[in-house]
Amino acid sequence: MQPRPPRPLARLIPVTPMKSPRFLLPCLLLALAGCVTAPNPRESAALGVLKSDAGLREKALACQQLADFAGPAAVPALASLLAHEQLGDYARSGLESMSDPAAGAALLGALETLQGRQLAGVINSLGVRREKAAVPALRRIAAKLGHSAATEAIGALGLIADPAAAQVLGEVLRNGDQALRQAAAHAALVAAERLTAAGQGAEAAKLLETSLQAVPAGPSADAARRQLALRRAS
């Protein structure tokens, strides 16, 4: 059963014969506070499943449900599952979908503890969320010789696509090995489109030119030339 929609605020504020509007403001604030802090029964139920002895299927479904309607109260429970072999992807997806900044902070904090597939997934989620605070950590991963998640970090930087991320991509294009330069060239295409859409066309052009210098031939180079040609023609 779906929870009943909240009553209009006009019903929550008692009618009073007092004429001063100063009396209405505290009532309005109290009514709004009650609406904001009221617990979500579906969130509480899903969190209860995660804390219980329920099976993997039920807990995976609870993570999916939390992705749809959970608030910051669900972040610690989901973050605690990021390293879980079976439930980690479900928990990460839940955090990735949440708009609350605490979800991004939890994913960023997990970079120091995860490895392998779970680490790669969290890096990708940080990119999808465009977490600008993750750029320094992603730079360290991308710059570490032989790091298993370097390619994922470069891809995430392309998705974040702010000037700081573009600068890191430029560093990889100039100084990285051949495999990383190729990954950075692909990421640069994504970043350039997003930078241009954000009104930062000069940053986009600079990144594309750096990409062409590092990887002058191939599909990524052809796409970079097309983007630059369109920019010059506009």
Last residue of a domain, one of 63, 84, 115: 115
DSSP state of 21: G
Residue 55 covered by a domain: yes
pLDDT surpasses 50 at 205: yes
Which of these ranges, 1-10, 18-27, 165-174, has the smallest mean pLDDT? 1-10
Residue 28 covered by a domain: no
The domain tally of the chain equals 2
Q: Which residue has the tokens 């990460």?
A: 92
Residue 34 covered by a domain: no
- Co-location of 52 and 84 in the same domain: yes
The band of 94, judged by pLDDT with boundaries at 50, 70 and 90, is very high
- Angle at Cα 45 formed by Cα 96 and Cα 126, nearest 5°? 5
C-beta of residue 135 within 8 angstroms of C-beta of residue 164 = yes
Domain boundaries, position 198:
130-234
Residue 23 covered by a domain: no
Residue 123 covered by a domain: no
- Co-location of 108 and 134 in the same domain: no
Residue 95 covered by a domain: yes
- Co-location of 151 and 224 in the same domain: yes
- Co-location of 156 and 224 in the same domain: yes
Residue 93 covered by a domain: yes
More confident residue, 117 or 1: 117
- Co-location of 183 and 208 in the same domain: yes
The band of 147, judged by pLDDT with boundaries at 50, 70 and 90, is confident
C-beta of residue 167 within 8 angstroms of C-beta of residue 195 = no
d(CA 152, CA 149): 5
- Co-location of 169 and 228 in the same domain: yes
C-beta of residue 127 within 8 angstroms of C-beta of residue 160 = yes
- Co-location of 63 and 110 in the same domain: yes
For the domain that residue 161 is a member of, what is the CATH number? 1.25.40
> What pLDDT does residue 181 have?
96
Give me the mean pLDDT over the 78-89 stretch. 97
- Co-location of 185 and 105 in the same domain: no
Give me the mean pLDDT over the 217-229 stretch. 95
Q: What is the mean pLDDT of the chain?
A: 87
The band of 101, judged by pLDDT with boundaries at 50, 70 and 90, is very high
